Amino acid sequence: MNPTISIVAPVYNEEHGIEEFIQAVADVMNEQELPWELLLVNDGSADRTLEILQEKKKAIPQLEWVDLSRNFGHQAAVTAAIAHARGQAAVIMDADMQDPPSLIPKLIASWQAGNQVVFARRTQRAETGLRRLGFETFHKFFRYAIDFPIPANVGVFSLLDRCAINEVKKLPERNRFLPGLYSWVGFKQNFVDYARDDRSAGTPKQTFKRLIKYASDGVMSFSYKPIRVLGFMGLMTAVMAFAIALYFTAKRLLGYEIAFTGFTTLVILISGLGGLILLAIALVGEYVARIYDEVKNRPAYIVKSTSMDSNND
């Protein structure tokens, strides 16, 4: 019998904290009078994470795992988790205890009240320093940068009803920003607020480079504004150049002497315009590169092995 609730999460080199997460989820779900499963996607871990999952399954039969052939990245691993979830609803979360398992009953209660997409919305974060500043800056910028309304301060931690799961599974893009996709599919949506905790063990697996890519995927997947801003800047530059040319032409026709002190001004203008042109080319190149990724049509992930029956997708 398929479970009613699937708890799904990607795991990557989480040998020091994964047992705590599994036990915390089991303790919470055993108090719910609903059939459940805990599905963990091993995203190419190089430590003992998969061995621990295999050992824990002997004690917790609701635990299932999917082992990817290599590290495909957080969003691809979450995509695999959603694709393999068998429940009528799936709670998607991270396994580092920053997404508290104690919030799961509130997400389920909101789903049972008729909501089909339930976002866990952060009211505060445990991160400090530059990492926290980066997250806050991104969410403030993101609200103004995108064309499609996406809730602020939400991540992958959420609950999706089976109808929403099925629609997310149909979305083919490779450069995925899942919080945006959750919102894009529509259906009846709601929020459950929580304070994001610190990691229970280990260090963050999302490097600064990956976070930058995640942010750019979010903006470029849901907005054309960067291109439009560059177009506006180009138009303003052309208008300014035309106005300057008109000014000097008028002075020459009226017989005024034109003194060119010129070298510094020319260097600044040429450098500024050259930088703007290179920025525009780079931005267009980012959009083209994403088109190239989509045209190649490679799978987002490859499954190496799984504890689940081959008949259950």
Per-residue confidence (pLDDT) for residue 179, from 0 to 100? 80
Within a domain: residue 213? no
Lowest mean pLDDT of 24-28, 121-125, 266-270, name the range. 266-270
Contact 17, 39 (CB under 8 A): no
pLDDT score of 124 more than 70: no
Give the structural domain span for 231: 225-296
- The CATH number that applies at residue 148 is 3.90.550.10
* pLDDT digits 0-9 by tens, 144-191: 666 566 777 777 889 999 999 999 888 877 777 788 788 888 889 898
Q: In what order do the strands lie in the sheet with 63-68?
A: 189-195, 117-124, 154-161, 89-92, 5-11, 36-42, 63-68, 303-306
Cα 53 from Cα 58, distance rounded (Å): 9
- Higher model confidence: residue 295 or residue 39? 39
Q: What is the pLDDT of residues 107-122, one digit of tens each?
A: 999 999 999 999 888 8
Q: Which helix (H) or strand (E) holds 68?
A: strand 63-68
Task: Tell me, yes or no, whether 61 and 41 share the same domain.
Answer: yes
pLDDT per position as a tens digit, 188-231: 989 888 877 655 555 555 555 665 665 666 566 666 677 777 77
pLDDT at 41: 93
What's the mean pLDDT when you consider all of the chain? 79
Q: CA–CA separation, 124 vs 16, rounded Å?
A: 25
Query: Which pLDDT score, from 0 to 100, does residue 214 have?
Result: 58
Please tell me whether residues 162 and 266 are part of one structural domain.
no
- Whether 311 maps to a domain, the answer reads no
Same domain, 128 and 196: yes
Asked whether residue 195 falls in the same domain as residue 244, the answer is: no
Same domain, 72 and 124: yes
Both tokens of 46, joined, read 């190089």
- The pLDDT score that the predictor gives to residue 292 is 76
Q: How many distinct structural domains can be found in the chain?
A: 2
Which pTM value belongs to this model?
A: 0.67
For residue 310, the model assigns a pLDDT of: 44
Same domain for 292 and 302, yes or no, is no
Give me the residues paired with residue 42 across strands.
11, 67
* Residue at 217 is within a domain: no
Mean pLDDT of 242-255: 73
Most confident among 41-45, 169-173, 217-221, 287-291 (mean pLDDT): 41-45
Alpha helices in the chain (DSSP H): 18-29, 49-59, 74-84, 104-112, 129-145, 162-170, 178-184, 208-222, 225-253, 263-296
Is 43 within 8 Å of 12 (Cβ atoms)? yes
Question: What per-residue string of b and e applies to 279-289 under the rule 16 or more CB within 10 Å gives b?
Answer: ebeeeeeeeee
Residue 183, Cβ density class (10 Å: 0-12 exposed, 13-18 middle, ≥19 buried) = buried
Q: Is the pLDDT of residue 249 over 60?
A: yes
More confident residue, 105 or 310: 105
Please give the C-alpha separations between residue 295 and each of 55, 282, 288, 292, in angstroms, as whole numbers.
41, 20, 10, 5
Please tell me whether residues 275 and 302 are part of one structural domain: no
Say if residue 29 is in the same domain as residue 155.
Answer: yes
